[in-house]
C-alpha cells in the first residue's frame, strides 16, 4: 500500500533509533510492562513514533492489565489502518499508522466495559506523547 509519508527502509533506519525501527518498521513487539508510556496518565495526544501523526487521545486510554498501553478508540477512523496478521500461528488484527504504514501494535475485541469493547494494544516504542497545555 502507498502511504502519504513514504520512505525506504534505509531512510527509516537512519532516522529511528534501533529499538524503534525494530517495532515500527519490522513489526517487532516490546516486552510487556517495559514501555515508558504504559503509566502515562496526563491529558494529551499519542502520536506515531515514526511520522508524528495523531493516533490516540489520552481520553481513550485505559488500564487493560496487558502490559502495553491500551486505548478503546483511535482519534479518528482514518488515523490507523487495520490489517489481518496471521503471524505466530494465530489470526490477529495489526494496527498500522495510516500516514506512514508503521506497525503500532494489535487490536483485540476483549475490552469489556469500554464504549467500543475494543483494545488497541500499542507498543510504547511506536508512540510519542504530547501533553495537553494546561
Sheet of 127-131: strand order equals 54-57, 44-48, 127-131
CATH of 9-26+44-131, picked from 3.40.50.300, 3.10.180.10, 2.170.150.20, 3.40.50.2020, is 2.170.150.20
Cα 36 from Cα 126, distance rounded (Å): 11
Report helix, strand or coil for 90.
coil
pLDDT digits (tens, 9 = 90+) for 14-53: 999 999 999 999 999 999 999 999 999 999 999 999 999 9
List of residues 6+ apart from 28 with CB closer than 8 A? 22, 103, 123
List of residues 6+ apart from 26 with CB closer than 8 A? 103
Residue for grid cell 482519534: 75
Domain ranges of the chain: 9-26+44-131
pTM of the complete model beyond 0.75: yes
pLDDT range class, residue 2, cuts 50, 70, 90: confident
Alpha helices (H) along the chain? 9-15, 18-26
Task: Provide the pLDDT for residue 86.
Answer: 86
pLDDT digits (tens, 9 = 90+) for 82-112: 999 887 677 889 999 999 999 999 999 999 9
Q: Look up 48 and say whether it is catalytic.
A: no
The number of beta carbons lying within 10 Å of the beta carbon of residue 67 is 14
Catalytic residue among 51, 97, 100, 121: 121
pLDDT range class, residue 1, cuts 50, 70, 90: low
The three cell numbers locating residue 68: 502495553
Amino acid at each position: 500500500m502507498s502511504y502519504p509519508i513514504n520512505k525506504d527502509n534505509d531512510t527509516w533506519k537512519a532516522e529511528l533509533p534501533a529499538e524503534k525501527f525494530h517495532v515500527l518498521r519490522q513489526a517487532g513487539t516490546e516486552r510487556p510492562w517495559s514501555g515508558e508510556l504504559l503509566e502515562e496518565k496526563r491529558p494529551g495526544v499519542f502520536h506515531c513514533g515514526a511520522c508524528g501523526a495523531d493516533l490516540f487521545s489520552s481520553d481513550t486510554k485505559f488500564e487493560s492489565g496487558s502490559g502495553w498501553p491500551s486505548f478503546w478508540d483511535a482519534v479518528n477512523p482514518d488515523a490507523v489502518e487495520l490489517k489481518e496478521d496471521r503471524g505466530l500461528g494465530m489470526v490477529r488484527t495489526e494496527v498500522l499508522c495510516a500516514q506512514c504504514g508503521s506497525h503500532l501494535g494489535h487490536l483485540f475485541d476483549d475490552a469489556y466495559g469500554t464504549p467500543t469493547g475494543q483494545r488497541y494494544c500499542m507498543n510504547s516504542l511506536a508512540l510519542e506523547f504530547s501533553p495537553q497545555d494546561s
